[in-house]
Amino acid sequence: MKIFTKREQICILVLVIIVICITFYGFYRNNTKVNNMDLEDKKIEDEEIPEEEDKNEEVKNEPEYIMVHISGQVFKPGLIELKNGSRVTDAVNKAGGLKDEADLDRINLAKKLIDEEKIYIPKIGEENDMVEDINSSNEDTQENSQNGNDKIDINKATKEELMGLPGIGEVLAGRIIEYRESNKFKTIEDIKNVSGIGDKKFESIENMIIVN
């Protein structure tokens, strides 16, 4: 068995220490690199989360149902509640269908509807400057809605128009007319003074009524 001299032993010890240091440095460097990559990935994920949350918030804010007003050559004109994304044909079907006199050449049954939109089904041969063409843009319809053109004046509406409001049947429509004959509505909130119309029912119609 070979006996190492003291000098050889020192050289071997130094080599072992160098190997250990190199190994430790390599491990430390790789570990640091992995940690930096993890931090970078986490940073990217954190940046992406707000965008996803914004998209989810936009979807969440979209109403599940919309309210449109249909009149003209349909059997049941008035206010109709539809699922968001519905088309003119859905509104027509819910309004009892088209009458024989309806002018199909002036309506687009495939058009998508927006909340508070007004739909008018003209009669064949009808010539009236006030007739709103069903093919008008959604932007124009939206502007009219915001100006209150589609809202029902509870001080002047007929019983049939009042019955077009969600949750308002013949009895409640009669009570509204009876109330306004002796107490004119000054604000839309006054309709809650009518027996049978509470806060919940008012919330479902407050965006569809006005007082003049």
For residues 67 and 96, membership in a common domain is answered with: yes
For residues 97 and 161, membership in a common domain is answered with: no
Q: 181 is in which domain, residue-wise? A: 151-212
Asked whether residue 60 carries a pLDDT value surpassing 80, the answer given is: no
For residues 114 and 95, membership in a common domain is answered with: yes
Task: Please tell me the pTM assigned to this model.
Answer: 0.40
From the list 119, 120, 115, the residue with the least C-alpha distance to 146 is 115
For residues 89 and 141, membership in a common domain is answered with: yes
Spell out the residues 6+ positions from residue 190 whose beta carbon is closer than 8 angstroms to its own.
Answer: 183, 211
From 61, 87, 102, give the residue that closes a domain. Answer: 61
Report the CATH number at residue 192: 1.10.150.320
For residues 137 and 184, membership in a common domain is answered with: no
Count of domains forming the chain: 3
Whole-number mean pLDDT of the chain?
Answer: 79
Question: Using an 8 Å Cβ cutoff, are 170 and 159 in contact?
Answer: yes
Work out the average pLDDT over 154-183: 90
pLDDT digits (tens, 9 = 90+) for 90-137: 999 999 999 999 998 888 998 989 888 889 899 888 775 445 444 444
pLDDT digits (tens, 9 = 90+) for 61-81: 567 899 999 998 999 999 999
**pLDDT confidence band for 138 (50 / 70 / 90):** very low
